[in-house]
Structure 1
Amino acid sequence: MRVDVHAHYFPAAYLDLLKSYGSRRTDIARIPCAGDADGDIDARLRMMDAAGVDLQILSATPQMPYLEDAGNAVAAARFVNDRYAELVAAHPARFAALAAAPLPHTGEAVEETVRALDDLGFVGAAVSTTVLGRTLGDPAFEAYWAALDERSAPVFVHAAGRDLDSPQIADHGLTWIVGAPFEDAVGVLHLLRAGVTARYPNIKFVVPHLGGGLSFLLQRIDDNFLHYHEAFPDVPSTLLRRMWFDTVGAHAPALRETVESFGADRVLLGSDFPYFQGDLYTRAVRYVGEAGLPAEQVHAVLDGNVHDVFDLS
């Protein structure tokens, strides 16, 4: 079964709810085939068929229910998770879902995530790289990670679209061109430095966009750790090789470097649908087989490794 682990779904009513609670970042998600408008799901399924994708694993990132008001955050999280559950129930062979949690309200986040995993049948959780300015290594989130570790849950870590708090990104139209992959890399390094991945080894972390440049920086990160004794609980490359990375990027040299750096068994097919659709969606799958990898590695990336991370039975 060919599974796309990086696809988004933005029901219009959910975006409206976020906007009513003060979000100013929903417009980027209001694009064709992103949600539940008439014909959206049928068009999505046709593109999946054309690309040879059997199933998409859906997340609401970066349109997450991260709100200062706990009541609003819980309402938004429950709303979007219920909408995802409805879509999966309507198309169980084509979609699976990742839970959205009402962080930074950790107790409520645990309760809603447990509901999504245990009652709604979600296959994992999704988080953005920052939560209202807090890193994923914030000690306040320990109970959340513990609940996910207890269930050996996959966790998809996606850029928050917050420009790394840099006007050099935000003010120059670079939020999603370079801001997003840099957020992926920095967000993961916060997880590693805070010891989250070491304390909760049962969580299966999935990082998009070929790791956001972490493979390119791997030796530099290790060298700085060894020379300066940075706060990582282990050699960073050792910690990173316990994660998984998706293929979003469609750049064959970068894919080969990611495979060489982390191992072919640590790379999963991803597309970033609906931001890449039509011919670009087909290319997101096709390029893996055209990147010059050995046939057995192509098979692992496209069809095998996902079953080491997600329970799709």
Structure 2
Amino acid sequence: MRIDVHAHLWTDGYLDLLDSYGRTDTATQRGTGAGATAQELEARFELNDSAAITHQILSISPQVPHFEERAHAVHAAAYANDLYAGVVADHPDRFSAFAALPLPHVDAALTELARALDDLDMAGAAVTTDVLGASLADPAFTSLFEELDRRHAVLYVHPSGHDAGTPLIADHHMRWMVGAPMEDTIAVMHLILAGIPSRYPNVRIINSHLGGALPMLLRRADDQYQWESPQTPDKPSAAARRMWYDTVSHGHLPAIRAAAETYGPDRLLLGTDFPYQNGDLLRRAVTSIHDALPGQDATTVLDRNATALLNKA
């Protein structure tokens, strides 16, 4: 079964709701063909079939319902999850979904997580690389990780589009070209340095975009963490291999090879980033795995790892 773990769906109704709560960046998601109309879904399914993609796990990120105003976060999360539950119910062979959580309100997030997993039968939960500027490793989120661990749940982490918190990205038109993979890198390292993968070994964490620059940096981290971050409980390379990484790389074969050699091909999951890789670019997201990796490794990445991780066998 070929599962794409990095795919999006947004409706104008959901984006309009976020706008009404003060978001100013929803234009990036509009008019991309990632809606839920019959025409959009038919085109998506035809495209997926052309790449032999059987199933997609939908995530609302980066337009997550993270708001300081609790009522806004709670309403937007419920809206997103009900939307996704309806789409999945209409197309169960084609879609599953990761739940949106009303963060930073952890008590509300735990309530919504229970509803999403127990009542809506969602595949896990999705968050962004930061929560309104706070690290995922912030102790404020401890009870969320404890519950995810208790449930053996999947947690999918996607860039927030917050420019990694620096004007050197924001002011130079690099939000998604450079900012997104930098956010991936930072978030994964925060998790590693805080010992999240070993403290919560049952949480199946999926990081986006091959973990950003992490394949290039793990040896450096291994050499330097003991003096720079001596409280780190595990060697970074060992902690990194306790997590998973989607293959969104824009078809860059050296990046795919580096990730496979760094983490092992068993830690890579097919991702397309639909709708931002569409048409030939989406098909390239699949063919690049074949082009980059030996045959058995490519098959493992494309057709086995996500099925096993998400219990879809």
Q: TM-score, normalised by structure 2?
A: 0.97
Aligned to 1:86: 86
Show CA shifts across 1:124-172 (max 9, x none).
Answer: 1111011111110111111111111111111111110000111111111
Q: Does 1:238 align with 2:238?
A: yes
CA displacement at 1:194 relative to structure 2: 2.0
Aligned to 2:118: 118
Aligned to 1:256: 257
CA displacement at 1:12 relative to structure 2: 1.3
> What SS does structure 2 have at the residue aligned with 1:39?
helix
1:117-136 to 2 correspondence within 5 Å? 117-136=117-136
In 1, Cα distance between equivalents of 2:204 and 2:305: 12
Give aligned pairs, total. Answer: 312
1:7-46 to 2 correspondence within 5 Å? 7-37=7-37, 39-46=39-46
Aligned to 1:209: 209
Show CA shifts across 1:17-63 (max 9, x none).
Answer: 01101111111111321112451111111111111100001101110
CA displacement at 1:188 relative to structure 2: 1.2
CA displacement at 1:231 relative to structure 2: 2.8
Q: Give the fraction of aligned pairs with identical amino acids, expressed as a percent.
A: 48
In 2, Cα distance between equivalents of 1:211 and 1:228: 21
> What SS does structure 1 have at the residue aligned with 2:212?
helix
| Structure 2 counterpart of 1:210, one-letter code | L
Aligned to 1:58: 58
1:106-255 to 2 correspondence within 5 Å? 106-249=106-249, 250-255=251-256
CA displacement at 1:227 relative to structure 2: 4.0
Q: Does 1:299 align with 2:299?
A: yes
The runs of 5 or more residues in structure 2 that have no matched partner are none
Contact preservation (8 Å) 2:197, 2:243? no
Contact preservation (8 Å) 1:126, 1:158? yes
Aligned to 1:279: 280
In 1, Cα distance between equivalents of 2:206 and 2:35: 23
> What SS does structure 2 have at the residue aligned with 1:161?
coil
> What SS does structure 2 have at the residue aligned with 1:27?
helix
Contact preservation (8 Å) 2:65, 2:101? yes
| Structure 1 counterpart of 2:203, one-letter code | I
In 2, Cα distance between equivalents of 1:80 and 1:228: 40
Aligned pair in 2 of structure 1 residues 261, 227: CA closer, same or farther (>3 Å)? same
CA displacement at 1:277 relative to structure 2: 0.5
| Structure 1 counterpart of 2:58, one-letter code | L
Show CA shifts across 1:257-309 (max 9, x none).
Answer: 11111101111100000011011111111111111x22110110000111231
Show CA shifts across 1:234-269 (max 9, x none).
Answer: 101100001111110111111111111110111110
For structure 1, which segment, 80-89 or 166-175, has the greater mean C-alpha deviation from structure 2 after superposition?
A: 166-175
> What SS does structure 2 have at the residue aligned with 1:290?
helix
Aligned pair in 2 of structure 1 residues 226, 139: CA closer, same or farther (>3 Å)? closer
Aligned to 1:266: 267
In 1, Cα distance between equivalents of 2:256 and 2:195: 27
For structure 1, which segment, 226-235 or 86-95, has the greater mean C-alpha deviation from structure 2 after superposition?
A: 226-235
Q: TM-score, normalised by structure 1?
A: 0.97
> What SS does structure 1 have at the residue aligned with 2:121?
coil
Show CA shifts across 1:109-129 (max 9, x none).
Answer: 011011101110101111101
In 2, Cα distance between equivalents of 1:85 and 1:25: 25
Contact preservation (8 Å) 2:65, 2:100? yes
> What SS does structure 2 have at the residue aligned with 1:137?
coil
| Structure 1 counterpart of 2:41, one-letter code | I
The runs of 5 or more residues in structure 1 that have no matched partner are none
Aligned to 1:67: 67
Show CA shifts across 1:173-231 (max 9, x none).
Answer: 10000100000010111122222222111001111111101011110011111344533
In 2, Cα distance between equivalents of 1:163 and 1:157: 16
Show CA shifts across 1:80-100 (max 9, x none).
Answer: 000000000000000000010
In 1, Cα distance between equivalents of 2:232 and 2:183: 18
